[in-house]
């Protein structure tokens, strides 16, 4: 498949990395020659320096025979015009645009994106995706990471193990025997900053971060076994009243369970907008780093604080200050992935990475055929691949124990028909089964070969 990616920032680079590695013909377009050079030097892609919405630039990028264009520049307007030019001049079949401004996302104006008007096939809103990710974190406060697969039937839980975890120093294969009815499997362990796929004989220790696939119905029991009883949240403080904070507050207001929410916003104008838009939420005008404002918001009695300003350092420091004031849980929005190793030393419980969230969302929308989705773990240390077993695949009709899987690869969950199961070595993978695979980054190409992703992939 021939794909043009407009915008060579972190999001565009990550999408280009995924698609080029699968053997697609990828061209990256950006005004910034340095970003284009970085993409062409580190990835198997072509690069064009120029304005993404200019017809001559798209022509040089190969738009005349492109199958898809992904407009992910920093400008909403450039992204929309790029899709219009790609449609009107070059008849590109599929067009995806990243749009940030909420004014463009109002459902009342959805007709704007019809093919006869402004032809955008798929719209990705980073703020909405990040808000959903933040709500997932709030919904599972005992984890530092939560993601759903197999249409919500399976959850990936990231759990920080404490010294009182009841299953420490127990070989993983014994956990399977002890909890034989538990549909859960440990697929990844981060120890002293290094992530690895564990062996059955490996043990878990205090301060380990583990990634566990669990059937959604068994999530509460899984957390309890790992020493993280399910917690309910009644008081939440949100630092940042922008699009993300406002979206989260609105969802909390509409939830079935009453959550007392307070929003702290530094900009008076934005605080007034948030106050007008929310019904039961208290909005405070002030700096989230100000201890007096945090105390006024009752952060010492809060079950959780969610810091989602547009500044990473503010989010980190506000989270730290809130925890010292007594907040039970701190979640920070962090754009820079190099800051994530600081979460544990700073006692920040979880984080949301907007770029990783946006990349996962775009990949989820463009996948067809065998691979339905890709989710990145950490700073691209590993990937979770959701795929369908096809009759021509090398893994079809074989038991898992007979597969030549690399050491860094584990099949964490499988769905046969409507039943989601915990796979064992004896589990046979048949045509039409859906599987979720955890793979260390270096082993992803081998997984793709096993799935034969490059053959009639799309």
Residues 366-387 have pLDDT tens digits of 755 577 777 888 777 888 999 8
Task: Dig out the tokens for 126 from the structure.
Answer: 């980073």
d(CA 337, CA 185): 26
Pick the range with the lowest mean pLDDT from 154-168, 307-321, 444-458. 444-458
What pLDDT score was predicted for residue 105? Answer: 84
pLDDT tens sequence across 140-190: 778 888 888 998 899 999 999 999 999 999 999 898 888 988 999 999 999
Query: If you search the block for the tokens 């490059």, which residue do you land on?
Result: 454
457 confidence band (pLDDT: 50, 70, 90): very low
**CATH T-level fold of 235-351:** Rossmann fold (3.40.50)
Backbone angles phi, psi at 151, to 5 degrees: 55, 35
Q: Domain 357-451 - what CATH class?
A: alpha beta
Average of per-residue pLDDT across 245-272: 92
Estimate the crossing angle of helix 243-254 against helix 268-277, to 10 degrees.
20
Task: Flag whether pLDDT at 435 surpasses 90.
Answer: yes
The residue whose two tokens read 């993983």 is 172
Verdict on whether the full-model pTM lies above 0.85: no
pLDDT value of position 228: 87
Q: CA-CA distance, 234 to 158, in Å (whole number)?
A: 23
Domain limits, the chain: 2-124, 130-221, 235-351, 357-451
Residue written as token pair 């933040």:
134
Q: What is the pLDDT of residue 102?
A: 80
* pLDDT computed for residue 358 by the predictor: 83
| pLDDT exceeds cutoff 80 at 193 | yes
| Residue 453 pLDDT class (50, 70, 90 cuts) | very low
**Residue 362 falls in which region: left (phi positive, over 0), alpha (psi -120 to 50) or beta:** alpha
Range list of β-strands (E), 287-340: 304-307, 330-333
Top pLDDT among 454 and 43 is at 43
Asked whether residue 436 carries a pLDDT value surpassing 60, the answer given is yes
452 pLDDT band (50/70/90 cuts)? low
**Higher pLDDT pick, 446 / 58:** 58
Sole residue written with tokens 């990395």: 17
* Percent of the chain predicted with pLDDT > 70: 97
Q: Model confidence over 272-283: pLDDT tens digits?
A: 999 999 999 999
Strand order from edge to edge, sheet including 46-49: 46-49, 25-30, 2-6, 68-71, 94-98, 122-124
Q: pLDDT digit string (tens) for 48-100?
A: 999 999 999 999 999 999 999 999 999 999 999 999 999 999 999 999 999 98
Q: What is the DSSP letter of 162?
A: P
Give the model confidence (pLDDT) of 205-253 as tens digits: 999 999 999 999 999 899 999 998 777 788 999 999 998 999 999 999 9
Task: Give the pLDDT score at 68.
Answer: 93
CA dist., res. 247 & res. 335, Å (int): 18
As its CATH architecture, domain 2-124 has 3-Layer(aba) Sandwich (3.40)
Do 235-351 and 2-124 fall under one CATH topology? yes
What letter does residue 208 receive in the DSSP assignment?
A: -
Of the candidates 265, 342, 329, 332, the one whose C-alpha atom is nearest the C-alpha of residue 299 is 329
Pair 355, 11: CB distance under 8 Å? yes
Q: Token pair of 114, please?
A: 């019809």
Residue 458: the pLDDT is 38
| Domain 130-221 listed as CATH 2.170.8.10 | no
């Amino acid at each position: 498949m021939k794909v043009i990616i407009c915008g060579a920032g972190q999001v565009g680079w990550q999408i280009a990395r995924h698609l080029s590695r699968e053997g697609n013909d990828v061209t990256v377009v950006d005004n910034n020659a340095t970003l284009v050079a970085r993409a062409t030097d580190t990835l198997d892609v072509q690069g064009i320096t120029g304005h993404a919405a200019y017809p001559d630039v798209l022509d040089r990028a190969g738009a005349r025979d492109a199958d898809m264009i992904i407009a992910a520049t920093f400008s909403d307007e450039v992204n929309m015009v790029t899709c219009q030019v790609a449609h009107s001049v070059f008849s590109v079949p599929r067009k995806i645009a990243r749009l940030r401004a909420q004014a463009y996302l109002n459902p009342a104006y959805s007709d704007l994106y019809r093919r006869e008007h402004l032809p955008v096939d798929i719209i990705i809103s980073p703020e909405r995706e990040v808000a959903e990710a933040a709500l997932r974190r709030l919904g599972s406060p005992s984890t530092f990471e939560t993601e759903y697969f197999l249409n919500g039937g399976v959850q990936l839980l990231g759990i920080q193990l404490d010294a009182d975890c009841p299953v420490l120093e127990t070989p993983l294969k014994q956990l399977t025997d002890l909890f034989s009815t538990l549909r859960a499997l440990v697929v990844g362990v981060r120890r002293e900053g290094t992530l690895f796929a564990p062996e059955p004989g490996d043990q878990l220790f205090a301060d380990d971060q583990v990634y566990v696939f669990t059937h959604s119905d068994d999530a509460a029991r899984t957390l309890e076994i790992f020493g993280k009883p399910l917690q309910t949240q009644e008081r939440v403080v949100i630092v940042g009243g922008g699009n993300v904070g406002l979206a989260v507050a609105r969802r909390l207001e509409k939830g079935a369970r009453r959550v007392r929410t307070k929003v702290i916003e530094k900009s008076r104008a934005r605080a007034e907008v948030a106050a007008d838009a929310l019904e039961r939420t208290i909005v405070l005008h002030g700096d989230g780093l100000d201890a007096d404002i945090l105390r006024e918001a009752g952060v010492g009695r809060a079950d959780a604080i969610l810091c989602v300003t547009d500044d990473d350092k503010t989010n980190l420091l506000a989270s730290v200050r809130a925890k010292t004031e007594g907040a039970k849980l701190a979640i920070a929005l962090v754009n820079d992935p190099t800051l994530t190793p600081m979460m544990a030393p700073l006692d920040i419980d979880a984080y949301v990475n907007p770029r990783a969230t946006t990349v996962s969302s775009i990949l989820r929308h463009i996948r067809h055929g065998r691979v339905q989705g890709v989710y990145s773990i950490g700073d691209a240390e590993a990937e979770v691949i959701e795929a369908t077993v096809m009759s021509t695949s090398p893994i079809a009709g074989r038991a898992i124990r007979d597969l030549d899987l690399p050491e860094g690869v584990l099949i964490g969950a499988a769905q046969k028909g409507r039943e989601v199961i915990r796979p064992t070595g004896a589990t046979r993978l048949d045509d039409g089964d859906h599987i979720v695979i955890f793979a260390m980054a270096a082993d992803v190409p081998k997984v793709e070969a096993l799935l034969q992703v490059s053959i009639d992939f799309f």
